[in-house]
A and B are shown apart, each in its own frame.
Chain A
Amino acid sequence: MTEEIIIAGFGGQGVLSMGKILAYSGIMQNQEVSWMPSYGPEMRGGTANVTVIVSDDRISSPVLNFYDTAIILNQQSMDKFEKTVKPGGLLLYDPNGIIHHPQRKDIKIFKIEAAKLSAEMGNTKIFNMVVLGAYLKLKPIVKLENVIRGLKKSIPERYHKLIPMNESALTKGMENPVEVFLN
Chain B
Amino acid sequence: MGELKLMKGNEAIAEAAIRAGVDAYFGYPITPQSEVIEYLMAEQPEERTGMVVLQAESELAAINMVYGAAAAGKKVFTSSSSPGISLYQEGISYIAGAELPCVIANVVRGGPGLGTIQPSQADYFQSTKGGGHGDYKLYVLAPASVQEMADFIQLGFDIAYKYRNPVMIQSDGMIGQMMEKVELADQRPRWTDEEIKQMHDSWAAFGKGDHRERNIITSLDLDSAKQEKHNHHLQAKYRRMEEEEVLFEEINCEDAEYLIVAYGSSARISMKSIDLARAKGIKAGLFRPITLYPFPMKQLNAYVGKVKGILSVEMSAGQLIEDIKLAVECNVPVKHFGRYGGMIHSPEEVLTALENLIKGE
Contacts and interface: CB of A to CB of B under 8 A. Distances in A.
Pick the most buried of B178, B274, B275, B344: most chain A CB atoms within 10 A of its CB: B178
Q: Per DSSP, are chain A's interface residues mostly helix, strand or loop, or mixed?
A: mixed
A40 interface: yes
Interface in B259-291: 268-275
A20 B6 contact: yes
Interface string B1-38: 00011100000000000000000000000001000000
Nearest to A61: B272
A36 interface: yes
A33 interface: yes
Interface string A138-165: 0000000000000001100000000000
A60 to B, nearest CB: 3
A21 B117 CA distance: 26
B347 interface: yes
Q: How large is the interface on B (under 10, 10 to 19, 20 to 34, 35 or more residues)?
A: 20 to 34
A24 interface: yes
A65 B346 contact: yes
A40 B273 CA distance: 26
Given A40-B117, A40-B118, A62 B178 contact: yes
A37 B6 contact: no
B174 A32 contact: no
Nearest to A37: B177
Contact of A34 (B116, B178, B269): B178
Nearest to A28: B4
Interface string A13-31: 0000000100110110000
A20 B181 contact: no
Contacts of A36: 174, 177-179
B6 A65 contact: no
Contacts of B4: 27
Contacts of A107: none
Contacts of B245: none
Contacts of B116: 40
B82 to A, nearest CB: 15
A61 B178 contact: no
Contacts of A66: 348
Nearest to B178: A36
B264 to A, nearest CB: 12
Contacts of A153: 5-6
A61 B4 CA distance: 21
Contact of A62 (B6, B32, B174, B275): B174
B344 A63 contact: yes
B257 interface: no
B181 A32 contact: yes
B6 A33 contact: yes
6 shortest interchain CB distances as A-B pairs: A60-B271, A61-B272, A35-B179, A60-B272, A61-B269, A36-B178
